[in-house]
Amino acid sequence: MPGFFDKSIEFLKGVGPQRAELLGKELGIFTYGDLIQHFPFRYEDRTKFYKIRELNEHMQLVQVIGEIRSFRMAGVGRKARLVGLFEDETGQMELVWFQGAKWVQQRLKAGVQYLVFGKPSRYGKILSMAHPEVEPVTANSQKGSHLQPVYPTTEKLKKKFIDSKAINKLLRVLLVESLPHIRETLPDEVIRSFSLTDKKTAITHIHFPTDQAVLRKATFRLKFEELFYIQLRLLKLKIARTERFKGVVFNNSQMLNTFYKEHLPFELTGAQKKVIKEVYTDFRSGKQMNRLVQGDVGSGKTIVAFLCMLIAISNGYQCAFMAPTEILADQHYEGLQVFAKPLGVKIARLTGSTKQSERKQLHLALETGVLNIAVGTHALIEEKVKFQKLGLAVIDEQHRFGVAQRAKLWSKNREIFPHVLVMTATPIPRTLAMTLYGDLDISKIDELPAGRKPVKTQHMRDSQRIRMFDFVEKEIRKGRQAYIVYPLIEESESMDYKDLMDGYESVARRFPDFHISILHGRMKSEDKDFEMKRFVKGETQIMVATTVIEVGVDVPNATLMVIENAERFGLSQLHQLRGRVGRGAEQSYCILMTGVKLSTEAKTRVSTMVETNDGFRIAETDLRLRGPGDLMGTKQSGALDLLISDLASDGELLVIARNAASDLLKQDPHLESPQNHVIRHHIDSLSKTVVNWSRIS
Ligand code: ADP
Ligand code: MG
């Protein structure tokens, strides 16, 4: 049965069909429920009244009461403006309008008291306020001091006079009608232990706060609720999965032991060993494993995955190893083959460019269980591909795979779900991991193999290009190889492509004696493969490329990474690119080339790169700079479309909410106790209204 909040917004007084359509299109507000959850993104402080003498140009929006003395026109052309001389008992300032002079003069009169609201600025000695809000002072002006909410709106809506104030007005109407229908959504116990405001009060105060204190309480309560429910859902998912899906028990580790004793090419780091132990514990638990391994670039995730696969194979199961690109799948295939050969482990590759005839054979080999490991791309999860006994799926560089694709993998084994090991080289801040992968267990490889020298990073301007090229030459003369990377951003693809080609030519001109590879997305995959191989074998010294080389590619002899137009890359991308070097024993370098003029944000990105190699620190900065929605690969997940919380700044609260949800589920895993009925009820209504909820997984 549709409830009060499912009512179409059209029926709210003051809306009607036309505005309703616009609100839906522009802001996704379709129902009463949508509108009541359209929260302000900031508040203008209308609690304090200033005197003109107190004002300065560093202040944000302020309000002042005074009188307009006179009007005059000043300036010509584009600078033509109406100036009103405004004063109170402490001083004078100018109110300035560049447009609408006529309208202003008709409406405002000299000699009358007005309340003006705007941002002070200063030209020379004169203090002024451009396009202030002006309203006549009434008996209520001073009493009605409040925090004025500012709502998200759009240009289109504003043109139809649905600005922030109009939205607030609609909310006033809606709130009165809504109050009897707003139900508490958190259990008493939770409300009490976290001293939360009740739901009705919180909703009222978020839209109509009387002062900062009540606003703080309302915000806290609503953020808590939002984060609590997200975490509760993720944790429930986890519980449900472990209960529903039995995991295959792998307790034979024979091949792992053999490999360890006889073929291990290097000593594992402590962190690698720790992760393998964690996985092995999962394998023996009888529960299906869903584990995320976070490890910075070069931390050695591949061998960890291989050792885990050996356990599955020792127990008679098959493994799938998925990579996001063909290049990577190929590299993994080749790398893994070296490990696999001495053990007699059978491994094959399946990607988009696998030939039809070969493909058929492969399918058969998988179905009959002849093959132990299939390495590939998305091609692996096609309907046609069937495994005889898939026991472990490894997904490398998770951010390119959606949760839905992960689920598809599971369905590859009918009776029992395979264990899933997700590996990501994009370190993500804890708060983000908790939300994006809140249903997974998380392992970290937080240690690099011994003997690695941290990459030295330098920032150079385009004017220092000659120096940069000299440095490239020096490195190559030492026998090393270099990458020169260009941005490729979809919207401007052909422009970027031209940049890349120009770049290639100038590199070729500068280094006539060197062999140069080129790699970009427009090339056929055989050609890409060919170029990549030449570089891997050391036949070419320089690789000019777009970001196709970004993920996972491993050429230990490459010690120099030059990133052109570095200001156009995001932090995590820069970090990924830099991770392509520093993989061998030699000192490696990263040069960030930029133009002269950089935005503040770009400056922070570049300086962060120069200062640190720590992927987790970089991820934190990235989150702070861009907000969670823009972080690499998280965009399409939609998991981060939060109504009120902000994962960048609400990390602490997130942890509190997750712990609260976890404690609650520990006591009542199926939410059966009477005091938790509100939760069940709320989850039901959420899943019905589609709000927020269905977007999460
Ligand atoms: P990533 O975590 O970025 O996927 P890789 O698995 O590609 O890293 O490993 C990077 C390089 O380090 C590879 O050449 C790999 O063989 C090597 N490597 C991995 N673990 C160790 C170790 N414990 N000691 C020395 N080298 C290692
Ligand atoms: Mg890797």
Region 317-345: mean pLDDT is 90
pLDDT digits (tens, 9 = 90+) for 215-242: 999 999 999 999 999 899 889 888 877 7
Phi, psi of 513 (to 5 degrees): -85, -15
Q: Report which protein residue has its CA nearest ligand 1's atom 5.
A: 300
Q: Is 693 left (phi over 0), alpha (psi -120 to 50) or beta?
A: alpha
For the CA of 269, the closest atom of ligand 1 is: 23
Higher pLDDT, 39 or 526: 39
Q: Where are the beta strands (DSSP E) in 5-124?
A: 42-46, 49-50, 62-74, 81-88, 91-97, 113-118, 120-123
Given a cut of 90, is residue 380 above it in pLDDT? no
How many CA within 13 A on the CB side of residue 520? 22
Does the CB atom of residue 583 touch ligand 1 within 6 A? Answer: yes
Residue 659: pLDDT over 90: yes
Q: Map residue 147 onto helix, strand or coil.
A: strand
Mean pLDDT of all residues in 677-687: 84
Q: What is 254-445's CATH number, 2.170.120.40, 3.40.50.300, 3.40.50.620, 3.20.80.10?
A: 3.40.50.300
Q: Assess whether pLDDT exceeds 50 at residue 637.
A: no
307 lines ligand 1 (CB under 6 A): no
Ligand 1 lined by 396 (C-beta under 6 Å): no
Mean pLDDT for the stretch of residues 515-537: 87
Q: Is 656 exposed, middle or buried (0-12, 13-18, 19+ CB in 10 A)?
A: middle
Q: Are 581 and 562 contacting, i.e. CB atoms less than 8 angstroms apart? A: no
Least confident of 138-147, 297-306, 419-428, 511-520: 138-147
Determine if ligand 1 sits within 6 Å of the CB of residue 299.
yes
Ligand 1 close to Cβ of residue 554 (< 6 A)? yes
Nearest CA, atom 26, ligand 1: 449
CATH of 456-612, one of 1.10.630.10, 3.40.50.970, 3.40.50.300, 3.40.190.10: 3.40.50.300
**What confidence tier does 696 reach under pLDDT thresholds 50, 70, 90?**
very low
Mean pLDDT for 411-433 is 76
* Residue 40 pLDDT greater than 80, yes or no: yes
Q: How far apart are CA 486 and CA 498, in angstroms?
A: 10
Domain boundaries, the chain: 4-42+163-181, 48-144, 254-445, 456-612
The residue whose C-alpha atom lies closest to atom 4 belonging to ligand 1 is 301
State residue 692's pLDDT score: 37
The residues pairing with 563 across neighbouring beta strands, listed in sequence order, are: 485, 592
Q: What is the reported pTM?
A: 0.70
- pLDDT over 80 at 423, yes or no: yes
State the distance from the centre of ligand 1 to the C-alpha of 577, rounded, in angstroms: 16
Give the pLDDT mean for 385-409. Answer: 74
What integer best gives the mean pLDDT of the chain?
87
Judge contact between 412 and 390, C-beta under 8 A.
yes
Confidence (pLDDT) at 213: 92
The verdict on the CB of residue 297 being under 6 Å from ligand 1 is yes
> What is the per-residue pLDDT for 410?
59
Q: Whose CA is nearest to atom 9 of ligand 1?
A: 300
Is the pLDDT reported for residue 550 higher than 90?
A: no
Q: Which CATH architecture has domain 48-144?
A: Beta Barrel (2.40)
Is 491's pLDDT higher than 80?
Answer: no
pLDDT at residue 609 is higher than 60: yes
426 Cα to the center of ligand 1, angstroms: 16
373 touches 336 (CB < 8 A):
yes
pLDDT of residue 1: 54
Confidence of residue 595 (pLDDT cuts 50, 70, 90): very high
pLDDT at 347: 96
Alpha carbons 39 and 133: distance in angstroms, whole number:
23
Q: For residues 468, 472, 475 and 476, what is the CA-based torsion angle, rounded to 10 degrees?
A: -170
Q: How confident is the model at residue 623 (pLDDT cuts 50, 70, 90)?
A: confident
For ligand 1, atom 10: residue with the closest CA: 298
Q: Which residue has the higher pLDDT, 381 or 362?
A: 362
Alpha helices of 511-650 — where are they, by DSSP H?
A: 525-536, 571-578, 600-611, 615-626
Q: What is the pLDDT of residue 96?
A: 94
Residue 690: band (very low, low, confident or very high) from pLDDT cuts 50, 70, 90: very low
Q: Above 70 in pLDDT, residue 607?
A: yes
β-pairing, 81-88 vs 62-74, is antiparallel
- Residue 275 has φ and ψ, to the nearest 5°, of -65, -40
Which of 263, 269, 303 best tests ligand 1's pocket when mutated (most atoms within 8 Å of CB)? 303
Band (pLDDT 50/70/90 cuts) for residue 641 is low
* 3-class state of residue 374 by DSSP: strand
Return the pLDDT at 97.
94
If you measure from the C-alpha of residue 84 to the centroid of ligand 2, how many angstroms do you get, rounded to a whole number?
Answer: 65
CA of 396 to the centre of ligand 2 (A): 7
412 pocket-lining for ligand 1 (C-beta < 6 Å): no
Establish whether residue 303 lines the binding site of ligand 1, counting it when its CB lies within 6 angstroms of any ligand atom.
Answer: yes
At residue 695, the pLDDT reads 31
pLDDT in tens, 51-71: 999 999 998 889 999 999 999
Mean pLDDT, residues 501-523:
92
By most ligand atoms within 8 Å of CB, the mutation choice from 275, 299, 549 for ligand 1 is 299
Least confident residue range of 102-106, 333-337, 470-474: 102-106
Taking residues 109-119, report their average pLDDT.
90
Give residue 589's identity as a one-letter amino acid code.
Y
Average pLDDT over residues 453-458: 93
Q: What is the fold of 4-42+163-181?
A: DNA polymerase; domain 1 (1.10.150)
Give 449 Cα–ligand 1 centroid separation in angstroms.
Answer: 7
Return d(Cα 99, Cα 60) in angstroms, integer.
22
Q: Are both 254-445 and 456-612 of the same fold?
A: yes
- Contact status, residue 517 vs residue 535, Cβ threshold 8 Å: yes
Cα(542) to ligand 2 centroid in Å equals 22
Q: 363: part of which helix (H) or strand (E)?
A: helix 356-368
Whether 41 and 148 have beta carbons less than 8 Å apart is answered as: no
What pLDDT, on a 0 to 100 scale, did the predictor assign at position 378?
81
Which helix H or strand E contains 443, and what residues bound it?
strand 441-445
